[in-house]
Structure 1
Amino acid sequence: MIGKDTVLNGTYRILEEIGSGGGGIVYKAYHERLKTTVVLKRIKENVKGILESRTEVDILKNIKHTYLPRVYDFLELEGEIFTVMDYIPGKSMAQMLAEQGAFPQKQVLGWAEQLAEALAYLHGQSPPVIHSDIKPANIMLTPEGNICLIDFNVSLAFDRNMRTSTGVSGGYSPPEQYRTVTSYRSFTVFGKRRESAARTADMMGAAETELMTGVGETGFMSDETEMMSPEATPTVSMVESLIGSGVDERSDIYSLGATLYHLLTGNKPPADFERGTSVEECGVAVSEGFAHILNKMMELDPDRRYQNGAEALYALRHIYELDSEYKAYYKKRRNRRVSLAILYTVSVALAVGGALTVQKEKNTAYNRQLVTAVSYMEAGEFQLSQERIEEARSLLPRRIDAYCRELQLYYAREDFDICVTYGRDLINNPEYRVRDASDEYLLGDIFYIVGNAYLEKDDFANAVNCFKEAVELNQNNSLYYRDYAIAEAKMGDDAEAKEILDDAILLGLREDSIYMVRAEIAFARRDYEEAETCFQKAVATAGSDSLRRRAVLLCAKMYKNWGNAYIDREISLLEQEENQQGTSSLVVSERLGDAYARKAKCLGGSQEYYRRALNQFEQVYAGGMVTYQVEENIAVLQEQLNEIEAAERTLQDMLKRYPKEYRVYKRLAFLEADRQQRRANQQRSYEQMRSYYGKAVQLYEQQDAEDGEMQMLGNMLRELEAGGWF
């Protein structure tokens, strides 16, 4: 046992022991260098000797996802291997079930999508990381309301042979995770009863056992003891064929389904697979779509489940497709083609068989790339996200999904001009095919994203048109109606906005989104006090990080529009959001940097706030948001802080990326003017400034733009010429 305040590896100071079990003692510790709390936990001895030679170490240490703890390090202490991970505060779902019982579908469905996203990320690693022990005790709900899937089986990432030796959690583990039929039966009601009878037999003797069971030379058995007879055992042939086959991604899917079943019903699934766990029979109101997904997750045959986290996530995000209304719609479309389809299918059935297998593999790889792309996108790793999207598109270039994700990426990067241009091109000159209703919904997403980009550009008329198209393609998406209502409110038509909001509420729009729309309607009416109140309620009731962040950004934008009198409120709101544990956002950091810069101007050029602003933009740049605006802001702030040489280096680097961008030369001209102004008169030379301005003019004349700063530069140079400086 390791004592309190012991410092391990010169880095980890032990705070306390927080658990122990078959795997060893678990410690809470403090990471002295990173100034954060971590957990040290012993992992299986089987991985000794391979920690330094296997590339999987780097894979695990690079795991970075909102709903997973971060793996910091692996240590060998007194002959044991320990993993160092994030310490996750909060309550486990097991604790919450004990305190509250079952949870409503709406809440469980939100958690389900988060957990599936975490699994999609783990399964998308190469090789896939298998959790192998998903259950309520291993799911944390943090004080901020975030899900975190803890305690994934590090050992399984190192050695695939260990996938037949992992432990089981009765009720949550699938058949293939049990090592033997005997070990499985030890978890079942039948097995436990038989073990009890065996123990009694040892104590009472065989003769007394015959009397207890009612079995004698005649073979007689009483009805009351029939369940204890081997001949009465429910058929286990299928289960027996699966037991011992080892865990893979599909095993995690079963455990996820069993966990969600427990959260939804308040009852732990039975360990006895023959007893069944049909969601429809659980006595809880469950939608058709969710029931279908849970039943498919908990299929005993792994081939009948979703094959990995990406497939499960896709199903949860398209849950509406599994309800009766959608099925009726799709059936109607399908029946129009059924006669020709039958003839065609008969003629090519043999040829298609092999092709379908290849296509399935491509689809799985395609979905995995896109799920990983979204994870990178949410983490601000935009270049990595772009690479995954391009890899997906190379696999299936006619699928719409990757195009939709790329558009989403431009929006996440705040490249709203590119988002609009690319989005309109996707709409007007598609390279993809819209094959079915599911693809029509994705086309609706494209209109929706473009509509939001127009909103960011304050082009409300075009935003309204895009949202109308989105709603036409998917009339069941409450978020389309939400932003449609916001656009109408910004157009000044609050009556239309209210009517659209009512439609969204009928479709189940969440309380947080309702407050967001009401805030925009109040703002359009110039009822600023009501608008502020509604935005604050949207932030307070937000059911997800992304929605809370959007409410924060909209409220911050409102403060900005109100002017400098509200800049302190804007800064406070953005600082609070940036400090949310585990939910950092480059967009929030960028907006905060902009607010700091404006605060500096309000204070007459405060060096403190300029420095804060520069730190923010450098953080955004380092995080992967490498855009023209971010780099220009860095250069301008460096100049404001009298870091002239640093500002010039930044601008010269920008020239390499944007050689035809007149604004870089314009900024260099201003910088050179500033440099010369700091020199004594006899040491000044404005030739370089004039050279930069000349290059800026050549490029500027090719642009359809009006730039007041270019006119200012021209006037400065004419004054310099008049003063005899050339």
Structure 2
Amino acid sequence: MQDNYFQSKYKYIRQLGHGGCGNVYLAENTKLGNFWAVKEIPKGRDFTISGYLEPEILKRLNHPALPRICDVYEDEGCIYIVEDYIEGIGLKQFIDEKGNVHEKEAAEWGIQLCSVLDYLHGQKPEPIIYGDMKPQNIILTKGETIKLVDFGISSMVTVSQNKPPGLAETAFIGTKGYAAPEQYMGGSLCPATDIYSLGITLIHLITGIDPVKNYSFYQDNNFLKHLSPEMSQILKKCVNPRSDLRYRTAEELMKALRHYLLMSSDTLAQKTDYVQLPHIFSKVIAITGVAGTGVSTLTVAMAEHTAKSGNSVCIVDLSSTGDLDKIFFDSDENSQIPIPQKIKSNMYYFRIYIESFADSPESVTIYKLLGQLQEKYRYIFIDGHPEILKAIDTYLDNIFIVSDMNPINISKIFQILEG
């Protein structure tokens, strides 16, 4: 139940779902009129620690397939976590209605999920084990992209000298049927723990057989006869009871799924559709420096060089000078361009004029914008003042600071970007 303060800020519309940690509601911000997902976690339960950990995890993450956290509130009875509301259909509901999905479609979704896991497992200094991969926690958006929600039992792995990198010293229980053996047998957790759950999830999607209700179907590899030989080989390795015999990383599994898609005859016939999947490895690069040092010139040079290699590129102009606007449109007006404008082949430009960014109402809008751009462009180049970049630093893969007009080693910069 919401208290007076929280209710004055967020109005519950309807319940979106529920789980072991609490209920999730669609809520409207009464002042701004926009919609958010609010997870309401009761205190005084065994799962309360997960409620405290989830915002700590989400606030440090930036991936187009993950929700962003915007507010956390606590009263005597509950913890409230306010996150992006992701509009779409849960994969559990999807297969309940459709029965199952084609192997190719499951493989494409699996590649997107591998991207998320690779990102989580690669967090520094503490890798993140998601711990609860299942169709209920995966949303298919209207744009046919995958979003991963509910970090209620995720674990930030503390790496010490007493254990191999990427292993958690204590296990936690996930969902029976999907959870890896080490999660409920007290074993160490590692990236292969999430790979096991993803393998079970993909089998569920392809066969339509729920592992919670029909766990025997998954024992002794009984599911293999329902899969193609190529997919059987991949998923059998994913769900090996021994974690050391699974794929070691999400990247390895992703390569196997991509190879499967390329080798399958129906994929080769529709290769163009496959190539047009969202750019789930989008890189965001910022260029900044003192006025007059050539920031805009370097931004354009880097973008053009990248676009010539066949990459889709978007330049986001957050500067106050509007120099890029003048370069592309020969205009002296500081105006906001509502959608990215095509400048050259594979190259787009997006101008946003703002006087103050940090802690302003525009911040949430810009966060959402960058998330949307990451789904469409392989590279995003941002020209902005250091103050603005500080406010969005969680989005940035690299920041290049131009200090003077001396020649710059462009080739070395691109070795960094493409590494």
TM (norm. structure 2) is: 0.61
Structure 2 residue 172 is matched with structure 1 residue 173: no
Tell me how far 1:161 sits from its aligned partner.
8.0
Check whether the contact 1:278–1:295 (CA below 8 A) recurs between aligned residues: no
Q: Give the distance between the partners of 1:660 and 1:7, measured in 2 at CA.
A: 56
Match of 1:415 in 2: 302
Check whether the contact 2:317–2:352 (CA below 8 A) recurs between aligned residues: no
Tell me how far 1:2 sits from its aligned partner.
2.6
Check whether the contact 1:172–1:271 (CA below 8 A) recurs between aligned residues: no
Match of 1:612 in 2: 336
Q: Give the distance between the partners of 1:121 and 1:147, measured in 2 at CA.
A: 14
Check whether the contact 1:130–1:153 (CA below 8 A) recurs between aligned residues: no
One of 259, 278, 284 as aligned partner of 1:381: 284
Match of 2:62 in 1: 64
Letter in 1 for 2:221: T
Tell me how far 1:246 sits from its aligned partner.
5.2
Structure 2 residue 223 is matched with structure 1 residue 310: no
Aligned residue for 2:15, secondary structure, equals strand
Aligned residue for 1:153, secondary structure, equals coil
Tell me how far 1:88 sits from its aligned partner.
1.4
One of 310, 323, 348 as aligned partner of 1:452: 310
Taking a change above 3 Å as real, the CA distance of residues 319 and 29 of structure 1, as seen in their structure-2 partners, is: same
Q: Give the distance between the partners of 1:51 and 1:93, measured in 2 at CA.
A: 24
Match of 1:271 in 2: 215
One of 216, 227, 235 as aligned partner of 1:294: 235
Q: Which ranges in structure 2 are unaligned for 5 or more consecutive residues?
A: 159-166, 265-278, 288-298, 340-349, 358-365, 371-379, 386-400, 409-419
Taking a change above 3 Å as real, the CA distance of residues 315 and 587 of structure 1, as seen in their structure-2 partners, is: farther
Match of 1:164 in 2: 171
Tell me how far 1:37 sits from its aligned partner.
2.0
Q: Give the distance between the partners of 1:11 and 1:173, measured in 2 at CA.
A: 37
One of 80, 83, 97 as aligned partner of 1:82: 80
Aligned runs of 1:174-253 on 2, under 5 Å? 174-178=180-184, 243-245=185-187, 247-253=189-195
Q: Give the distance between the partners of 2:197 and 2:50, measured in 1 at CA.
A: 28
Check whether the contact 1:94–1:136 (CA below 8 A) recurs between aligned residues: yes
One of 37, 40, 50 as aligned partner of 2:38: 40
Letter in 1 for 2:182: E
Check whether the contact 2:37–2:83 (CA below 8 A) recurs between aligned residues: yes
Letter in 2 for 1:611: S
Check whether the contact 2:21–2:48 (CA below 8 A) recurs between aligned residues: no
Q: Give the distance between the partners of 2:99 and 2:222, measured in 1 at CA.
A: 19
Match of 2:151 in 1: 152
Match of 1:625 in 2: 381
Check whether the contact 1:47–1:155 (CA below 8 A) recurs between aligned residues: no
Taking a change above 3 Å as real, the CA distance of residues 99 and 589 of structure 1, as seen in their structure-2 partners, is: farther
Letter in 1 for 2:336: R
CA offsets, 1:661-704, max 9 Å, x none? 9xxxxxxxxxxxxxxxxxxxxxxxxxxxxxxxxxxxxxxxxxxx
Taking a change above 3 Å as real, the CA distance of residues 415 and 21 of structure 1, as seen in their structure-2 partners, is: closer
Aligned residue for 1:94, secondary structure, equals helix
CA offsets, 1:447-501, max 9 Å, x none? xx96537xxxxxxxxxxxxxxxxxxxxxxxxxxxxxxxxxxxxxxxxxxxxxxxx
Letter in 1 for 2:141: T
Letter in 2 for 1:174: A
Q: Give the distance between the partners of 1:20 and 1:59, measured in 2 at CA.
A: 20
Q: Give the distance between the partners of 1:106 and 1:588, measured in 2 at CA.
A: 35
Letter in 1 for 2:225: E
Aligned residue for 1:16, secondary structure, equals strand
Aligned residue for 1:177, secondary structure, equals helix
Q: Give the distance between the partners of 1:655 and 1:589, measured in 2 at CA.
A: 16
Kindly, what percent of the aligned residue pairs are identical? 29
Check whether the contact 2:66–2:147 (CA below 8 A) recurs between aligned residues: yes
CA offsets, 1:621-663, max 9 Å, x none? 9977246xx99xxxxxxxxxxxxxxxxxxxxxx98443469xx
Check whether the contact 2:121–2:191 (CA below 8 A) recurs between aligned residues: yes
Tell me how far 1:110 sits from its aligned partner.
1.0
Check whether the contact 1:92–1:137 (CA below 8 A) recurs between aligned residues: yes
Match of 1:93 in 2: 91
Letter in 1 for 2:381: M
Q: Give the distance between the partners of 2:35 and 2:87, measured in 1 at CA.
A: 10
> Who wins on radius of gyration, i.e. which is larger?
1
Match of 1:138 in 2: 137
Taking a change above 3 Å as real, the CA distance of residues 278 and 597 of structure 1, as seen in their structure-2 partners, is: farther
Tell me how far 1:165 sits from its aligned partner.
3.8
One of 196, 204, 213 as aligned partner of 1:254: 196
Taking a change above 3 Å as real, the CA distance of residues 249 and 452 of structure 1, as seen in their structure-2 partners, is: closer
Check whether the contact 1:19–1:26 (CA below 8 A) recurs between aligned residues: yes
Q: Which has the higher strand share?
A: 2
Tell me how far 1:164 sits from its aligned partner.
3.0
Aligned runs of 1:416-565 on 2, under 5 Å? 418-419=305-306, 452=310
Higher relative contact order, structure no. (Cα contacts within 8 Å, ≥ 6 residues apart): 2
RMSD value over aligned CA atoms? 4.6
Q: Give the distance between the partners of 2:55 and 2:80, measured in 1 at CA.
A: 13
Match of 2:2 in 1: 2
Q: Give the distance between the partners of 1:614 and 1:266, measured in 2 at CA.
A: 43
Match of 1:281 in 2: 225
Q: Give the distance between the partners of 2:218 and 2:101, measured in 1 at CA.
A: 26
Q: Which ranges in structure 1 are unaligned for 5 or more consecutive residues?
A: 179-242, 324-373, 385-411, 420-448, 454-549, 551-584, 632-653, 662-726
Match of 2:273 in 1: none
CA offsets, 1:192-215, max 9 Å, x none? xxxxxxxxxxxxxxxxxxxxxxxx
Aligned residue for 1:257, secondary structure, equals helix
Q: Give the distance between the partners of 2:61 and 2:91, measured in 1 at CA.
A: 23
Tell me how far 1:297 sits from its aligned partner.
0.7
Segment of structure 1 superposing worse, 60-69 or 109-118: 60-69
CA offsets, 1:83-137, max 9 Å, x none? 3222111111111111111211221111110011111111112322222211111
Taking a change above 3 Å as real, the CA distance of residues 305 and 153 of structure 1, as seen in their structure-2 partners, is: farther
Taking a change above 3 Å as real, the CA distance of residues 292 and 95 of structure 1, as seen in their structure-2 partners, is: same
Match of 1:128 in 2: 127
Aligned runs of 1:595-606 on 2, under 5 Å? none
Taking a change above 3 Å as real, the CA distance of residues 318 and 23 of structure 1, as seen in their structure-2 partners, is: same
Letter in 1 for 2:310: N
Check whether the contact 1:596–1:612 (CA below 8 A) recurs between aligned residues: no
Taking a change above 3 Å as real, the CA distance of residues 158 and 294 of structure 1, as seen in their structure-2 partners, is: closer
Q: Give the distance between the partners of 1:41 and 1:102, measured in 2 at CA.
A: 29
Q: Give the distance between the partners of 2:338 and 2:93, measured in 1 at CA.
A: 44
Q: Give the distance between the partners of 2:206 and 2:238, measured in 1 at CA.
A: 14
Q: Give the distance between the partners of 2:192 and 2:71, measured in 1 at CA.
A: 28
Q: Give the distance between the partners of 1:162 and 1:47, measured in 2 at CA.
A: 19
Aligned residue for 1:625, secondary structure, equals strand
Aligned residue for 1:99, secondary structure, equals helix
Tell me how far 1:77 sits from its aligned partner.
2.4
Taking a change above 3 Å as real, the CA distance of residues 619 and 245 of structure 1, as seen in their structure-2 partners, is: farther
Q: Give the distance between the partners of 2:323 and 2:140, measured in 1 at CA.
A: 33
Letter in 2 for 1:171: G
